[in-house]
Chain A
Amino acid sequence: MRAALFVPCYVDQLWPRAGLSAVRVLEAHGVEVAFPEEQTCCGQPMANAGLASAAEPLARRFLEVFGGFDAVVCPSGSCTSMVRNHYDPFLAGAPGFEKLKAHTYELCEFLVDVLGVRAAKGRFPHRVALHQSCHGLRELGLGIPSESMHPRTNKVSALVGSIEGIELVPLARADECCGFGGTFAVAEEAVSALMGRDRLADHARAGAEIVTGTDVSCLMHLEGLARREGRKLRFMHVAEVLAEAAA
């Protein structure tokens, strides 16, 4: 099958290996990957700041760029959630929007739900802390969060956890927010930094060598803090873990 890859702007420009790994993983599962070059950004930073009028043109652009594809796959929970859960005020009623919403997927959920992947390929003999990025977890339903009393399932940990040799370390707080939060990282810098450092302390105490997650935004924030603190941790997007395992 053919899928368009939606690469978040900050991944494209600052952490391209997540996008490149996503391509490798998708192609390894027989997906023909297209990259529509006119894509830029989903508009989430503007929308989250309450600037709906600034976000709207980007939403329209997104529909134009991606509307023709049968599937859109994105290595980011928050950007995917923007399209599925927050584009309605801008695009409701627009031709092709309902189809776009129904066929835009975060990478792990695409692998699990659309391609039916149950066991990831290859080996990854490392101790890994899986950071549950909030939008993917709670808005997209990539997993059942710790607050819920529904039976605890999680597509990301099931997929990543299925890699041979990987050890997903148990965390004291399974899904506490890392503190990035978009412009929050700057507007509430002190709390943002402390939240991130607390996550890192949890990961380190659990014995992690590598921190992974579905959102590069969280990882950039955590990595930035870790490097400043001198922590010996590697940061890899789940696509990179899956790609390296299968390599």
Chain B
Amino acid sequence: MSSMPRVSGGHPAAAARFVADEPRTHWHDQALWVVREKRDRAASGIPDWEALRDVAAAIRAHARGRLPDLLEEFERNATARGAKVHWAADAAEHNAIVHRILSERGVTRLVKSKSMLTEECGLNPYLEARGIEVVDTDLGERIVQLRHEPPSHIILPAIHLKREEIGELFHGKLGTPEGLADPKALTEAARGHLRERFLAAQAGLTGVNFAVAETGGVVVCTNEGNADMGTSLPPIHVACMGVEKIVPRLEHLAVLLRLLARSATGQPVTTYTSHFHGPMAGGELHVVIVDNGRSRLLADPGLRGALACIRCGACLNTCPVYRRSGGYSYGWVVPGPIGSVLAPARDPAAHATLPFASTLCGSCDAVCPVKVPLHDTLLRERRTLAAAGLVPLGKRVGLRLLAALLAHRALYEVAGRLLRFALRHFPRFLLYGPWNVWGRRRELPAPPAESFRDTWRRTRGRHG
């Protein structure tokens, strides 16, 4: 598995490359729009959707206010049931801890089910470099792993690939017949291929959808059964979680689970919702609690709301920009609106274009099951970047000049007249030169004979 490649030119350049293949972009856009529509249907299928979102947002705010106490309560209850709890301050420590757990037990064959946290920490290459074979078992994750690519969506890792491309991949790597592209047949081939890996695995690693402080349990939601297969065949289960995954009580878990699958895929619930408390008989359960910048987010009043995220992907599916630019345009493991908030918070210089990869349409806010204030946070990120000098110079200078002009009525009116004059009289080659980015695919507005205020003065006099 390769780590997310840095995108030179940022989101705009990567998105322009993506969009250059218009039919493929429309295919990608429509595939994700369908997921958005499924979410709409699922949400309309229960009577209390909007109330549930309010309650979920309140649960996350409540938990945020008590994180240390809840984490300690979780640790006590998990440990009392025989789990071992580890703490990792950052990605490097997380990787080292996981590696130590595995190598101490002589594990060289690991199966993994999806965990965005482990993507964030770059776990796979770390383990592979140290002689541990890591097999991603979520079908989409396995597909991108075999292609040496990162996932392009946090729930649908291979959404950017067509069935023919997957068929070609499986033909090369799994020996399926050339030209086989039927999803059912390809999934069947993957089932057999991965079943061998499950049976041979010495340990299973999962993410954590929610950790319950009250019971010391970790909850993992999957449709494929890979998390359960990977943690009930081999005796060792390592579960990795960010500190923000903690939920106080089972009653809160109910709220979040009613929202999660409906938001993510439009299903009422995932096929398996597994609750792990302590190890299997004769086995081990390790829970690795990870900070890796989350405490810094928590400390920032303008960013802490982003910690409510339950990684459902609904904001990606509804974002008209994500649908038309794809996950790789964002240059980070979590793309889309939530990624455009989290990535620049982590590394402003590397991700300065992300908060601007948005029209601020607000659709993401409206679908988020836990009401992360994405729109306002993106605006706040823009202010942070501008203050840090990370907004392109031309844009900054241009807008400041415009602001100065707009502060003086006379100047503003003259500028308007000049603009209309240019639109009316300049030859086309001058108006639509390479400097005119608007004009690449759009006509400039047809110039009116006079401005509104000119007409007003002419017809109403100065005191109208």
**A175: chain B residues within 8 A (beta carbon):** 363
A13, A48, A220 — which one has the most chain B CB atoms within 10 A of its CB? Answer: A13
- B406 CB to closest chain A CB, in angstroms? 4
Contact status B358-A184, CB under 8 Å: yes
**A3: chain B residues within 8 A (beta carbon):** none
Contact status A50-B49, CB under 8 Å: no
Please report whether the interface of chain A is mostly helix, strand, loop or mixed according to DSSP.
helix
- Of A20, A58, A182, the residue contacting B406 (CB under 8 A) is A58
Contact status A58-B366, CB under 8 Å: no
Contact status B391-A191, CB under 8 Å: no
Please report whether the interface of chain B is mostly helix, strand, loop or mixed according to DSSP.
helix
Contact status A40-B409, CB under 8 Å: yes
Contact status A20-B452, CB under 8 Å: yes
- Of B383, B448, B462, the residue contacting A14 (CB under 8 A) is B448
Contact status A195-B324, CB under 8 Å: yes
Known pairs A51-B386, A195-B324; A16 contacts B452 (CB<8 A): yes
Q: How far is the CA of A34 from the CA of B443 in the complex (A)?
A: 33
Contact status B402-A177, CB under 8 Å: no
- Of A16, A23, A134, A198, the residue contacting B451 (CB under 8 A) is A16
Contact status A228-B442, CB under 8 Å: yes
- A40 CB to closest chain B CB, in angstroms? 5
B19, B355, B357, B460 — which one has the most chain A CB atoms within 10 A of its CB? Answer: B19
Contact status A195-B320, CB under 8 Å: yes
Known pairs A58-B407, A147-B367, A223-B445; A46 contacts B416 (CB<8 A): no
A115 at interface by CB-CB < 8 Å = no
Query: Which chain A residues in 140-188 approach chain B with CB under 8 Å?
Result: 145-150, 173, 175-177, 179-188
Query: Which chain B residues in 11-33 approach chain A with CB under 8 Å?
Result: 11-12, 15-16, 19-20, 22, 25-26, 29, 33
Stretch in contact with the other chain, from B66-74, B135-143, B392-400: B392-400
**B406: chain A residues within 8 A (beta carbon):** 9, 40-41, 43, 58
Interface size on A, residues (CB 8 A): 75
- Of A146, A149, A177, A227, the residue contacting B320 (CB under 8 A) is A177
B113 at interface by CB-CB < 8 Å = no
- A115 CB to closest chain B CB, in angstroms? 21
- Of A48, A146, A188, A228, the residue contacting B382 (CB under 8 A) is A48
- A13 CB to closest chain B CB, in angstroms? 4
Contact status A50-B387, CB under 8 Å: yes
**B451: chain A residues within 8 A (beta carbon):** 12-13, 16
Query: Which chain B residues in 211-264 approach chain A with CB under 8 Å?
Result: none
B8 at interface by CB-CB < 8 Å = no
B282 at interface by CB-CB < 8 Å = no
A52 at interface by CB-CB < 8 Å = yes
**A180: chain B residues within 8 A (beta carbon):** 359
A98 at interface by CB-CB < 8 Å = no
State the B residues within 8 Å of A (CB).
11-12, 15-16, 19-20, 22, 25-26, 29, 33, 40, 43-44, 49-50, 318, 320-321, 324-325, 355-363, 365-367, 379, 381-387, 391, 395-396, 399-400, 402-403, 406-409, 412, 416, 419-420, 437-438, 440-445, 447-448, 450-457, 460, 462, 464
17 further contact pairs, Cβ within 8 A, besides A47-B379, A147-B367: A9-B412, A13-B420, A16-B451, A16-B452, A37-B409, A40-B412, A46-B402, A49-B382, A54-B400, A135-B360, A137-B362, A148-B50, A183-B356, A188-B356, A190-B12, A224-B445, A227-B443
Report, nearest first, the 3 A-B pairs whose CB atoms are least far apart: A181-B359, A224-B442, A50-B386
